[in-house]
Structure 1
């Protein structure tokens, strides 16, 4: 899989050394002719959601912290939620794939009550202009792979990068065993 699409994952390759994206896994939330937008799934912060968005504290999945979604608009928040029932799509929910979608944090919580099986909140996002993400993929910065809902809601995302690669077919799975510092190999 080399074509990025909404719902796919971008997994940083070893050549991607930008500190914003080294060893990251990015869930693509929107891919279109005007560019692409996603959130980094494996960068939790020490900031509790209760400290900055108190009304959402009882809805967020463990760990109940903000995640660094990317370097763009880090003062803003974006939420990814999972529906409890796909036949009950609440106001303020925009489907991304399957039962996952973007949740509008300006939606009154009572309109979402009971509709979400999980929620993760991200400070900032990763964004690319027209053709930019495709160029980065072509130059070898990213592996493009299918996502699984469980990728978004891992309690401990420390090994997400390795686990996502490990489940891929063929030679791509081999990359999951590379040492963090190739000089040690």
Structure 2
């Protein structure tokens, strides 16, 4: 095991990854969460490594009556391949698009950092269906949320490790949750796979 540095409790976690500490059974065991909001009022983010294989993005667009079954054939390959995530335990039927900053819906898009934003309104889905959406995106159903001081307490308890986010890891489609988790741990400096397996089965 190689660890470059200890995990501090940052003043703001926005735009970073919360990575579940190996062997911890918290709200998202072996989870990787991208933090979108963090303030004295609490925090929220999206679980990035819990895909919803039972539904595709084109199927979701159909359910929302944004496209018809016939329209699906004409969707751009990039749009059709967008991954749908089970992104958290709060408002699990509510949808958000986590995306690059090349799309903005006035009053609806929330910028997180210079690379990433999220939008929770239907107009982004309509734009994506007609190839006018962001260059990179994932569809998040639900979100992870904490009340005032809760995430800070969990970090101090050792439930989470923190590191700056890697945009490629945010948007990369990955069907194996463990692989994305291992890659997020590598960003922190935990690279010994034997250690990960041992902790994951403890």
Q: Give, in whole Å, the separation in 1 of the partners of 2:114 and 2:155.
A: 25
Q: Which residue of 2 aligns with 1:11?
A: 19
| Higher strand residue share | 1
Aligned partner of residue 121 in structure 2, secondary structure: coil
- For residues 38-53 of structure 1, the aligned pairs below 5 Å read 38-46=45-53, 47-53=55-61
Q: Which of 116, 119, 128 in structure 2 is aligned with 1:103? A: 119
| TM-score between the two structures when normalised by the length of structure 1 | 0.81
Structure number with larger C-alpha Rg: 2
Superposed displacement of residue 137, structure 1? 0.2
Q: How many positions carry a matched residue from both structures?
A: 178
Deviations 1:33-71 (A, max 9, x none): 110000000011111122223338758757434201111
Q: Give, in whole Å, the separation in 2 of the partners of 1:134 and 1:71.
A: 19
- For residues 1-185 of structure 1, the aligned pairs below 5 Å read 1-2=7-8, 3=10, 4-18=12-26, 20-46=27-53, 47-54=55-62, 55=66, 58=75, 63-84=81-102, 89-91=104-106, 92-107=108-123, 109-110=126-127, 114=132, 116-156=134-174, 158=176, 159-168=179-188, 172-174=189-191, 177-182=194-199
Q: Give, in whole Å, the separation in 1 of the partners of 2:175 and 2:163.
A: 17
| TM-score between the two structures when normalised by the length of structure 2 | 0.75
Superposed displacement of residue 81, structure 1? 0.9
Aligned partner of residue 112 in structure 2, secondary structure: strand
Consecutive aligned runs of 4 or more in structure 1 exceeding 6 Å deviation: none
For structure 1, the residue ranges without an aligned partner over 5 or more in a row are: none
The answer to whether the 8 Å contact 1:41/1:157 transfers is: no
CA 52–115 in structure 1, closer or farther in 2 if over 3 Å, else same = closer
User: RMSD across aligned C-alpha pairs, in angstroms?
Assistant: 2.9
More off after superposition, 6-15 vs 154-163: 154-163
The answer to whether the 8 Å contact 2:163/2:187 transfers is: no
For structure 2, the residue ranges without an aligned partner over 5 or more in a row are: 1-6
